[in-house]
Amino acid sequence: QAHLVESGGGLVQPGGSLRLSCAASGRTFGNYGMGWFRQAPGKERELIANIWWSTGSSHYADSVKGRFTISRDNGKNTVYLQMNSLKPEDTAIYYCAGTIAGRTWESGDWGQGIQVTVSS
């Protein structure tokens, strides 16, 4: 089981940028995918971006496509979420998650979550 730790959240004005980091440890990552989820108050948790460790293949939810970029640093076992052109509706708790290919996210590894607030 991997240990995931998020960092980089905080308060930012609309139109601003933040970069979230997720440091992973405790397993090998050859057939492993990592994703960023978010959950706003009163809303369901949603997968907004994911990346496969071995290939770098990534996917995005329509709500963030063109504004957010997910990337990985194999040497640091870290996944990043660069968030640009932030909107108030991006306000949520953001979670890093990881799973082995073929398994569900829910059965995988999760970070503790980090708050992102977009407000003037």
- The 10s digit of each residue's pLDDT in 52-111 is 988 889 999 999 999 999 999 988 999 999 999 999 999 999 999 999 888 899 889 999
Hey, what long-range contacts does 28-32 have (CB within 8 A, 24 or more apart)? 29/2, 29/53, 29/54, 29/74, 29/77, 30/54, 31/100, 31/101, 32/2, 32/98, 32/99, 32/100, 32/101
If pLDDT is split at 50, 70 and 90, which confidence band does 1 have? confident
Rg of the chain on CA atoms, in Å? 13
| pLDDT for 46 beyond 90 | yes
Q: 19 near 81, Cβ under 8 Å?
A: yes
Q: 37 near 48, Cβ under 8 Å?
A: yes
| pLDDT for 36 beyond 90 | yes
Please tell me the predicted confidence (pLDDT) of residue 16: 98
How many other CB atoms are there within 10 angstroms of residue 55's CB atom? 8
DSSP 108: S
Please tell me the predicted confidence (pLDDT) of residue 98: 93
**Cα–Cα dist 94/97, whole Å:** 10
